[in-house]
Amino acid sequence: EVQLVESGGGLVQPGGSLRLSCADSGLTFSNNWMTWVRQAPGKGLEWVASIKKDGSEIYYVDSVKGRFTISRDNARNSLFLQMNSLRGEDTAVYYCVSGDHFNYWGLGTLVTVSS
Amino acid sequence: QSVLTQPPSASGAPGQRVTISCSGSSSNIGRHAVTWCQQVPGTAPKLLIHSDNQRPSGVPDRFSGSRSGTSASLAISGLQSVDETDYYCAAWDDSLHGWVFGGGTKLTVL
């Protein structure tokens, strides 16, 4: 069974950086697309970025291009999201998602960008 | 403004059948299968339907999905109080080179 645990969220000032991590305790991490999806307070779901199983394909939503970097370490069953130049509109719960069809979701980690 | 359009709300009485629509375009739903997720407010979303009409194990067969042209629908039959939550559609978009979500539909069981 896939269990995803995010960490690294917190309060950061505008312009600051954070690195989110997601640990996958399942046995199929290296076989799956991995994705970050976020949800601003009181808002809907927004896709942020996805990375193919071997890292050969990476996609970002336009609003984070050049600021966020998704990466993975298949040896450690871990997914990462490096977030730089953070803005208020990046405030959200960030979910780590496994699978081609958003099959498994973590509980999320809250990122708050505020001075 | 979401790329995929869902009604903000839907409702039905217990036992009834309700459908939630998801409207897109030729660059997303017109070319790619639709995924539906269910989210109880305050908790993480979970996969409900993928590949237009495929239910993961554990999802009741009361839930079904369909896609035609640039639109998709989620149908819930035999409505139960536990179904009162939020539903999101999603699809890959070739023009945006990424996934797009609908704005979500809050289902109320009357």
- pLDDT, tens digit (0-9, with 9 covering 90-100), for A70-114: 999 999 999 999 999 999 999 999 999 999 999 999 999 999 999
Distances B72 to A39, A59, B3, B19, B34 between C-alpha atoms, Å: 23, 24, 14, 10, 7
Does residue A99 sit in helix, strand or coil?
A: coil
CA-closest candidate to residue B5, choices B22, B28, B25: B22
Q: Is A105 on the interface with B (CB under 8 A)?
A: yes
pLDDT interval class at A27 (50, 70, 90): confident
Among candidates A47, A50, A107 on the partner chain, residue whose Cβ is nearest the Cβ of B100? A47
A80 touches chain B (CB under 8 A): no
Of A47, A95, A99, the CB nearest to B44: A95
Percent of chain B with pLDDT over 70: 100
Look at residues B98, B75, B93 and name the one whose alpha carbon lies nearest to residue B33: B93
Judged by DSSP in three states, B11 sits in strand
- Mean pLDDT on B8-24: 97
CA-CA distance, A52 to A34, in Å (whole number)? 7
Express each pLDDT in A16-26 by its tens digit.
Answer: 999 999 999 87
User: How many residues does this entry show for chain A?
Assistant: 115
Q: What average pLDDT score do residues B9-17 get?
A: 96
CB contact A58 to B (< 8 Å)? no
Strand pairing partners for B8? none
pLDDT band at A2 (very low <50, low <70, confident <90, very high): confident
- Strand A18-24 relative to strand A34-39, pairing: unpaired
Q: Which residues contact B31 (CB under 8 A, 6 or more apart)?
A: B94
